[in-house]
Chains A and B, each alone.
Chain A
Amino acid sequence: MFAFVIRRVTQALFVMLIISLVGFSIKNEIGDPVRDLVGERVTPAERELLRDKLGLNDPFITQYLRFAKNAAHGDLGMSFFHKKPALAVIAAKAPATLELVLGAALIIIFISLPIGVFSAIYPRSALSRFTMAFSTLGVSVPVFLTAIVLIYIFSVELNWLPSYGRGETVSLGGWDSGFFTVDGIMHLILPCFSLASIMLPLFIRLIRSEMMEVLETEYIKFAWAKGLHRKRIWFIHAFKNTLLPVITVFGVQIGIMFAFTILTETVFQWQGMGFMFLEAVERSDISLLVAYLMVVGAIFVVVNTVVDIIYGLVNPTIRIAGR
């Protein structure tokens, strides 16, 4: 097990190394730190002096090592537009995105588990057929279209729910939360539902097929033969073994949801990391863009590594056969 963890962590560090190389190359090729510092109104001679002083004429490797060292210390450069450290800008936007993902995850859990389990137990029922037929449709509707249709129905026509922004938030030690005010929750409903809509069909299908597979196994047949109550068989014996693969996939899909937050945040003008990223692209704020790349890359690497290690703990064949 120890060797497995070491191998996995080395691999994660290697990936981070590559991401930082990519990030640095972007900064080096496209970005102009001198402009970030002094703007456009400085003579070329002064610029050259400044370039020398900042070490921008050093060889690539030296500059990269400096970048990596700073990054390891949590310094990812200054944002040109915000005039603040890029990491601080991202940290200020992170709660909004995390709450969006959290809300969507809760919706997915509370909707997909009951429907998935039900349609595994009664695969011929009307509800199961309906959800199966609609899951392909659900996969084919892009998330921004779902969001727009939701806005049109619930904000424009019915006027029930707000269509943009986070509403009233409460500050909990630097974390702006929308979960504790009525207004904040009202603002969360539509974005969370549209973000959840992309993952729901996948999870309902996954839970259904895993559960159906488990219901075919010997030990479940034995449990029936023993005369256990059907609820006990379904919800205790079968359900437990359904959960393991579902949890692994859930871990990975949470990461994928981060990508879709960029779309959801654009539709709802949600002041999170994805919205900030697109603003950074529009304003050519390279430092902020690279910082976002590094932060999101790090999140993915950490999540993937942790999921792998947990999976290795639960399922020993992985860590023995692993490359």
Chain B
Amino acid sequence: MNRTWQRFKASYLLFSFKQDKTAIFSLAVLLVLLATGLLAPVVSPYDPYDPANVDIMNSELPPSWTQDGEAAFLLGTDIQGRDLLSTMIYGLRLSILIGFGAAVLQGFLGVVVGLLAGYLGGKIDAVLMRIADIQLSFPYLMVAIFISAIFQLAFGIGRYEDLAVPLLIVIIGLAEWPVYARTVRASVMGEKNKEYVEAARVIGLNRWRIMFRHVLPNTMTSVLVISTIQVANAIMSEAALSFLGLGMPVTKPSLGSLIRSGFEYIFSGSWWITLFPGIFLVLLVLVINLLGDWLRDVLNPKLYKG
């Protein structure tokens, strides 16, 4: 453990991180957001799911620093009279949960498929990659919208809303796994003819062990690089689905569904119900993207151009 820490301290990764102010700032903001989201019950002023805290008489109060605002509700209240800040923090928690959950699921699917296709080759490779190619020829958002629409019809709207969190993770996971599969396959193809793999084969290790213990760790760099972008994408997809009414219900709003419910009231001048969750969402996605940019430059300058 201590040795790993020593190696990390001497690594180029940490060195370049210290040089990059944007990266430090992004990581700090991201950690604050993650902590706020995960500790929502402790951090938020009220519990928005508790009916005792909701009073319809408080609905649509503007932020506290404006003329009609009340000091009890810092960022105002939403249409149901819930404290907007608390609802946002709980929404942030859901967005983070679904975003990371979906990224883990698509990473798992994609890594397994990419590893099998790249290492075993032949017919398995042809079939798996053809499936990935077909799915990649459609935009992932379109695929996610279709799958969620079908799920909603198949489950019925009531059960869909009860199961919304796991279902959204599955939907977004299924919609975006080919990105991982492609990347992992490409780096497995590069690795599998190297000498260490040959050596492992010569001493008679079985192929599963070679695949998962020897080849897989060496593809992790590229997985790490796309993972940051994929988490950001998954959070965006969740927000988009919720905005369309195919995601989290209004009773348990994520940031996307908060924006959706606020949008209906923007014409009457209640801008804060839309704007604050929007800023939260953009901030979250932006810092993840900035970290992703930095990681990509440090770990793999040749992966993308531009």
Q: Which residues of A contact B (CB under 8 A)?
A: 15, 18, 26, 29-30, 136-137, 139-145, 148-149, 151-152, 156, 163, 205-206, 208-209, 213, 255-256, 258-260, 262-263, 266-267, 277-278, 281-282, 284, 286, 289, 293, 296-297, 300-301, 304
Contact = CB atoms under 8 A, between A and B. Distances in A.
B145 A262 contact: yes
A156 B269 contact: yes
A304 B138 CA distance: 9
9 contacts: A136-B286, A136-B293, A142-B236, A142-B240, A148-B266, A258-B139, A278-B244, A282-B245, A289-B149
A205 B306 contact: yes
A263 B240 contact: yes
Contacts, number: 97
A144 B259 contact: yes
Give the 8 A-B CB pairs with smallest separation, nearest first.
A209-B306, A259-B142, A140-B286, A259-B139, A140-B285, A256-B139, A259-B141, A281-B149
B146 interface: yes
B132 to A, nearest CB: 13
A141 B141 CA distance: 15
A148 B153 contact: no
B240 A144 contact: yes
B137 A15 contact: yes
A53 to B, nearest CB: 26
Among A139, A163, A284, A301, max chain B CB count under 10 A is at A139
A304 B286 CA distance: 31
Interface stretch (B41-49, B65-73, B274-282): B274-282
Given A266-B243, A300-B137, A145 B282 contact: yes
Contacts of A205: 306
B145 to A, nearest CB: 6
Given A148-B263, A148-B278, A260-B141, 19 more contacts: A15-B137, A26-B150, A137-B286, A140-B286, A142-B240, A144-B243, A145-B274, A145-B282, A206-B306, A256-B141, A259-B141, A262-B145, A262-B244, A263-B240, A266-B243, A267-B263, A289-B153, A293-B146, A296-B142
B167 interface: no
Nearest to A208: B306
Main secondary structure of the interface of A (DSSP, over half): helix
A15 B134 contact: yes
Contacts of A136: 286, 289-290, 293
Contacts of B282: 137, 140-142, 145
Contacts of A266: 243-244
Contacts of B275: 149
B139 A255 contact: yes
Nearest to B129: A323
B208 interface: no
Contacts of A206: 306
A140 B149 contact: no
B5 interface: no
Contact of B137 (A258, A286, A304): A304
A140 B278 CA distance: 11
Contacts of A255: 139
Nearest to B274: A148
A75 B281 CA distance: 43
A146 to B, nearest CB: 10
